Structure 1
Amino acid sequence: MQKDQILAIDNGTQSIRAMIFDLQGNMTAKNRVPIQPYVSPAPGFAEQDPLVFWQGVCRACQGLWKLPGVQRERIAGVALTTQRSTVINVDREGKPLRPAIVWLDQRRTEGLKPVGGLWGLVFGLTGMTETVAYLQAEAEANWLRVHQPEIWKSTHKYLLLSGYLTYQLTGKFVDSVACQVGYLPFDYKRQCWAGPLDWKWQAVPMDPAILPDLVPAAGVLGEITSHASAETGIPAGLPLIAAAADKACEVIGAGCVQPQIACLSYGTTATINTTHRRYVEAIPLIPPYPSAVPGAYTLEIQIYRGFWMVSWFKQEFGLPEQQQAEMLGVEPEELFDHLVDQVPAGSQGLVLQPYWSPGLKVPGPEARGAVIGFGDVHTRAHFYRAILEGLAYALREGKERTEQRTGVKIKELRVAGGGSQSRCAMQITADVFGLPVSRPHVYEASGLGAAMDAAVGLGMYPNFETAVAQMTRTGDTFEPDPKVHALYDELYRAVYKNMYARLQPLYNQIRKIVRQHPIT
């Protein structure tokens, strides 16, 4: 039987999906297994038993084989993509030593020894000392080394979730270059572990032997073992091809391999991503991440809480939609577009800055969310529309920063992620940017991107340009309304772009006062 299909496994934040794609980019089968994203053993902590992820992969795959028409004999290879920056300590047998620290974790390690020597002098002269200190405090490895030294000492390998699942599938401590997104001593320009003199080894001290071997995207990570086959039902001996982290896979799955085509990801973290062959830092010391295309870079600007704000709105203000959705048997988010339709573009002067979680440099760690322009006409419908508009404003600001840093004009937009299913969110995006906005032809863009890595790695396509041409295409397209764009453009330029600078002194005061008066 001809082997002309690819199994893609996508371990996201909320669920694990096992999908089969053909060489035209059609998803022929899918099985989704919801997972509990994390547990919180302490305020701000986000952890999960690593077996939850592995067992989810096993259940997703085993359920896939039971679907009508699925023929596992046609599978040519496997690709894996996962959530980013979730870390796992394992022993020599690959058994976890403690729960995984999930990317949503907010623990910090203060009072660490600053980076010194020549690097410390350079950072002091360039005003980057606070940025480096922030990175050190955020690094999970530093917290483990300080607060759980025995576990750190017993750690044989320190893995991202992608590396842990790769070990479960192949029995090898190896990972994809394109999955390395986190507080690790990784050289993002050279796309390998940092050299011995790199400042990152001072910022996040560890023995290099604790890290896995790396394979470029589209390379072979190993073969499915007989043990993994028994657990998942994936045929033993199939090659596991290196894909990329979920955002990077989403970018190529949306067809965005040229720098003038941007991918907006409307997920828990909202991002704007572009693919480049040249290394460019949109924000100093914040590197572009490895692309799912070997040797290329995914330049990314994040709105950390992004479309999490929709879930926040649902929890805090969406009781009517929750009750109605339960009666209708649908998800509450499906009803939120009706709220948007009740309010004119611009939310009658209500403008929201979506910094519900602080950033690193842009915005700074002092940043807070803000809403201005309230009047007696405003309702929760206005507030919800202002959330969508504020996210679009912030991503447009990211677009302009990307263009300024790269010198490349962005001419097309593709939107992926859960928020892309909202008609209103898509139209607002088109109107704020003043550009046509398209959905990818398949909702599971990250899974498709992983399958594309496998297709090239297995020689089914000679290069990524051909794979993109054959496996991706646009779905629904939303055209901007010139009159609405003119309104948004004026609000964006005259109001939104001035908000952060005007409010930053107040944000700093809030930060200072709260730190001085830690009341629990």
Structure 2
Amino acid sequence: MKSETLLALDTGTQSVRALLFDLRGNLLAKARVPLEAYFSAKPGWAEQEPEYYWKALCQACQELWLQPGVDKTAIVGVTVTTQRSTVINLDKDGKPLRPAIVWLDQRRTPLFDPIKGKWGLLFKVAGIRPTIEYFQQEAESNWLRYYQPEIWEKTHKYLFLSGYQIFRLTGRFADSVASQVGYVPLDYKNLRWASNGDWKWAGLRIPPEKLPELVSPTAIIGQISPGAAAETGIPIGLPLIASAADKACEVLGAGGIASHIGCLSYGTAATFNVTSPKYVEAIPFIPPYPSAIPGAYNLEILISRGYWMVSWFKQEFGQRELQLAEERGIAPELLFDELLQQVSPGSNGLLLQPYWSPGLKVPGPEARGSIIGFSDVHTRAHLYRAILEGLAYALREGRDRVEKKTKLAVTELRVAGGGSQSAGAMQLTADIFGLPASRPHVYEASGLGAAIDTAVGLKLHPSFEVAVKEMTRTAQTFEPNPRTREIYDGLFYEVYSKMYQRLNPLYHKIHKIIR
């Protein structure tokens, strides 16, 4: 009897992966096509051609079929998960009107259209008008309306990358509600487009007809079209199942369906997530994101330039390790882990706050990264360890905020993403959080989460509880070291947790002077 398999197409910031899973969560085959994350026509811009993503997806599929033992006829369902918040404008024929604006883009729009009326008054009274104005200035749709009105006028559909790939695969303008993470008028509480009169319509000015139809995770969006089958090699007519954005899928693939499990993602963006059956705003006026489980939510704390900072360090300070790795024919990460081990926990008093990019609320729009505690004993190795520790401190701070809001304790951690492959990073995470930290059994946790949605949607597993039990498990677990934890607790409570408040006035002055 032929074993049923699931095809997950995962487009991240660094690569596209075509992943084949069985119903036990085993990764049977994988094809990876590296991506250039973006190109910049102007400083701060981050764009990429939509067709580039599609061609890479097709290439990944075609390479997958060449893997030993891959049987296309055993595939029973397909799903798509992608990086979040990358937007694409299509004309009435489904053709891109301009390059995609990638989530790493930093362009902003002057506040030419502030929200007035009852909503404007409410935001002023609540003290969050700067947050709402930041939301408007960051929204890609407002930039397009202001600077490229002819493009906006011709836009028939305004989609995230997930919606674009679904359109290319099925011909349908639809997307999972759990992929709508970005500056769009979503009602996050009720998991649908916002109702008439909601302030988001006034803040973003996106006509409803430009948006895709939304479906819940596990729903069948469509079937693989003949044209898509010809380009990708995926069999015609296979059902395409809605899953979620990559972070939500990663939480599911790590087995994080219970509220006592904290899920960390050490990817280009670093996040802390807890799955909740209830709508809870861990940060006031900042909604939780849709979970890959229908009707549930991910309470997320985001460091937008998370493990991107590791790439930044490697580029700016790690040429020696990169060269040695190339000469020895080994992965650079092995040498960077050695660099990490050269420094004792706490980096000899060097503390880093990883706000290389600001946020909506915590940190605020004015935030900047900071490093304090330098002395003549510090080296590159200290800086590298301080980066990893700073990211863990920031996510621990997020964990504390979520626990306080939900009144529920996080008792274990699951860590996924590229940074989870570092044993040193895993150990310091366990020590800083004071909790056991485990890796999922497969590195491709977001693809596995998407496959779980597909398995449940096709009734191959009767529930998410059963699917997670059957398809996920932990690999290595790192236990916190009590002595090291004591050092980190002191630095976290006495220094790190006070840095933002103390430095915030200076951030405001910097912003005012250079604006």
CA distance in 2, matches of 1:3, 1:25: 13
Q: Does the aligned pair in 2 maintain the 1:241–1:453 contact within 8 Å?
A: yes
What's the counterpart of residue 312 of structure 2?
312
- Structure 2 residue ranges without an equivalent (≥5): none
SS in 2 for 1:66: coil
2:298 matched residue in structure 1: 298
Task: Give the letter for the 1:326 counterpart.
Answer: E
Q: Secondary structure at the match of 2:115?
A: coil
Residue 71 of structure 1 is matched in structure 2 by 71
Aligned amino acid, residue 134 of structure 2 = Y
Q: Where does 1:117-156 land on structure 2 (aligned, <5 Å)?
A: 117-156=117-156
Whether the aligned pair in 2 keeps the contact of 1:352 and 1:386 (CA below 8 Å) is yes
The answer for the alignment partner of 1:51 in structure 2 is 51
Q: Which residue of 1 aligns with 2:113?
A: 113
Number of the residue aligned with 1:447: 447
8 Å Cα contact 1:112/1:136 also seen in 2: no
| In 2, Cα distance between equivalents of 1:268 and 1:258 | 25
1:329-478 equivalences in 2 (<5 Å): 329-478=329-478
Deviation at 1:17, TM superposition (A): 0.2
1:38 aligns with 38
Name the counterpart of 1:29: 29
Whether the aligned pair in 2 keeps the contact of 1:368 and 1:507 (CA below 8 Å) is yes
Q: Check the 8 A contact 2:420/2:439 in 1, yes or no.
A: yes
What SS is found at the alignment partner of 1:400?
A: helix
Cα distance in 1 for residues equivalent to 2:457 and 2:59 = 26
- Residues 44 and 105 of structure 2 are in contact (CA less than 8 Å); yes or no, is this contact kept in structure 1? yes
Superposed CA offset, 1:294-317 (max 9, x none) = 000011001111111111111111
Report if aligned partners of 1:167, 1:174 keep a CA contact under 8 Å in 2: yes
Aligned partner of 1:168 in structure 2 is 168
How far the C-alpha of 1:3 sits from its partner, in A, is: 5.7
Amino acid at match of 1:467: A
User: Which residue identity does 1:282 align to in structure 2?
Assistant: A
CA offset digits 1:360-398 (Å, max 9, x no partner): 211111111111111121111111111111111111000
Matched residues in 1 for 2:128 and 2:390: separation? Answer: 29
Aligned runs of 1:129-278 on 2, under 5 Å?
Answer: 129-278=129-278
Whole-Å separation in 2 of the counterparts to 1:351 and 1:226: 55
Alpha-carbon distance in 2 for matches of 1:292, 1:462: 16
Query: Which amino acid counterpart does residue 36 of structure 2 have in structure 1?
Result: Q
Contact 1:222 1:239 in 2 (8 A): yes
What is the letter of the counterpart of residue 514 of structure 1? I
CA RMSD of aligned residues (A): 0.9
CA displacement 1:288-341 (0-9 Å, x = unmatched) = 111000000011001111111111111111111011011012332331111111
**Cα distance in 2 between the residues matched to 1:176 and 1:264:** 23
Q: TM-score, normalised by structure 1?
A: 0.98
In 1, the alpha carbon distance for the partners of 2:151 and 2:3 equals 44
Give the whole-Å Cα distance in 2 for the aligned partners of 1:494 and 1:190.
Answer: 40
| SS at 1:487 equivalent | helix
Equivalent position of 2:283 in the other structure: 283
Gaps of 5+ in 1: 516-520
Which residue of 2 is the match for residue 91 of structure 1? 91
**In 1, distance between residues paired with 2:81 and 2:62?**
18
- The residue number in structure 2 matching 1:494 is 494
SS at match of 1:6: strand
Aligned-partner SS, 1:130: helix
Distance 2:160 2:194 in 1: 17
3-state SS, counterpart of residue 274 of structure 2: strand
Query: Is residue 49–residue 99 contact of structure 2 (8 Å, CA) maintained in 1?
Result: yes
Write the deviation string for residues 451-472 of structure 1: whole angstroms up to 9, x where unpaired. Answer: 0000000000111011000000
Q: 1: CA distance between counterparts of 2:74 and 2:294?
A: 26
Secondary structure in structure 2 of the residue aligned to 1:43: coil
2:131 touches 2:365 (CA, 8 Å); kept in 1?
Answer: no
1-side partners of 2:154 and 2:374: how far apart?
55
Moved over 6 A (4+): none
Q: Decide whether the 8 Å contact of 2:3 with 2:22 is kept in 1.
A: no
Residue 62 of structure 2 aligns to which amino acid in structure 1? Q
Q: Residue by residue, what CA displacement relative to the aligned partner does 1:37-72 show, whole Å, maximum 9, x if unpaired?
A: 111011111111100011011000011011100001
State the distance in 2 between where 1:360 and 1:197 align: 23
Deviation (angstroms), 1:263 = 0.5
TM-superposed deviation, 1:101: 0.6
Provide the C-alpha distance between the structure 1 equivalents of 2:82 and 2:232, rounded to a whole number of angstroms: 17
| One-letter amino acid matched to 1:61 | C
Q: Give 1:145's aligned amino acid.
A: R
TM-score normalised according to structure 2 size: 0.99
Report SS of the residue matched to 2:92: coil
Secondary structure of 2:234 counterpart: coil
AA partner of residue 267 (structure 2): G
**1:196-222 C-alpha deviation (Å, 9 max, x unpaired):** 110000000021011111110000000
Aligned counterparts of 1:153 and 1:43: Cα–Cα separation in 2: 26
- Give the distance between the partners of 1:514 and 1:389, measured in 2 at CA: 29
